[in-house]
Amino acid sequence: EVQLVESGGGLVQPGGSLRLSCEASGFTFRNHWMHWVRQAPGKGLVWVSRIHTDGSATNYADSVKGRFTISRDNAKNTLYLQMNSLRTEDTAVYYCGRDNLGPEAVGNWGQGTLVTVSS
């Protein structure tokens, strides 16, 4: 069974940093692009970032470019999102997802981890 388990969310002050993790199991992690998608309270889904199977290529939403860094450790089956210079508008549930079945089709999602940026 495919499982994605996010962790690392919490309360952080504006300007602070946080690192999210997404532990994968039930599939060959190194074979799949991975994504981060976020959802602010009461709002819609917003794509954040994606990373190639071997980490050689990444893409970011303009709103996080230069502040967030996506990475992966294929030996540990783990995806990361390093978030720096956090802003109140980064407050959201962050989901990790596995790209499978088709181009940019996120076929498996984690349960999400809540990041709250507030003073």
Residue 41 in contact with another protein, rule: CB under 8 A: no
Q: What are the φ/ψ torsions at residue 90 (nearest 5 degrees)? A: -85, -5
Stretch that binds another protein, among 10-18, 74-82, 83-91, 108-116 (CB under 8 A): 108-116
Q: In the complex with another protein, which residue's Cβ is closer, 11 or 45?
A: 45
In the structure encoding, which two tokens stand for residue 35, read together?
């994504």
Among 22, 29, 50, 81, binds another protein (CB under 8 A): 50
Q: In the complex with another protein, which residue's Cβ is closer, 7 or 13?
A: 7
The Cα–Cα gap between 86 and 113 comes to: 16
Residue 27 in contact with another protein, rule: CB under 8 A: no
Residue 59 in contact with another protein, rule: CB under 8 A: yes
The amino acid that residue 90 corresponds to is D
| Residues touching another protein, count (CB under 8 A) | 23
Q: What are the φ/ψ torsions at residue 29 (nearest 5 degrees)? A: -55, -40
Q: What are the φ/ψ torsions at residue 21 (nearest 5 degrees)? A: -125, 155
Among 8, 27, 47, 71, binds another protein (CB under 8 A): 47
CA 53-34-18 angle, to 5 degrees, is: 115
Q: In the complex with another protein, which residue's Cβ is closer, 32 or 50?
A: 50
Residue 35, CA distances (Å) to 5, 13, 14 in order: 13, 25, 24
Applying CB under 8 A, the residues found at the interface with another protein are 35, 37, 44-47, 50, 59-62, 95, 101-107, 109-112
